[in-house]
Structure 1
């Protein structure tokens, strides 16, 4: 770990829990006829890794759906 860098206790647990719920929701979407979309999958991956907020994911998904 880098000097001066701290990890919030439970952060890894929260990330794993978020990843689980995203995968669970993805499985439900596939069951309803979802077809793989690389733009939306990339947004999900960035959200799970903490690079973007929930609101940014929402904006990206709405923009993508408008283009479809």
Structure 2
């Protein structure tokens, strides 16, 4: 397997978001992540697919962000 999984700081850079925001999205199940023990990684193909499909919103909309 030649695919390199992305670390969440790399995903934050791709999405132009702060790292803590990306970690929150991962915890909420919004961002497609791979669990490797305590580490969270993102498959670049799944991330691209997620972006191309418009991402995923919080249940209840943006007001959940508070």
Same fold (TM over 0.5): no
TM-score for the superposition, normalised by structure 2: 0.36
Q: Which has the larger radius of gyration?
A: 1
TM-score for the superposition, normalised by structure 1: 0.35
| Larger helix proportion of the pair | 1
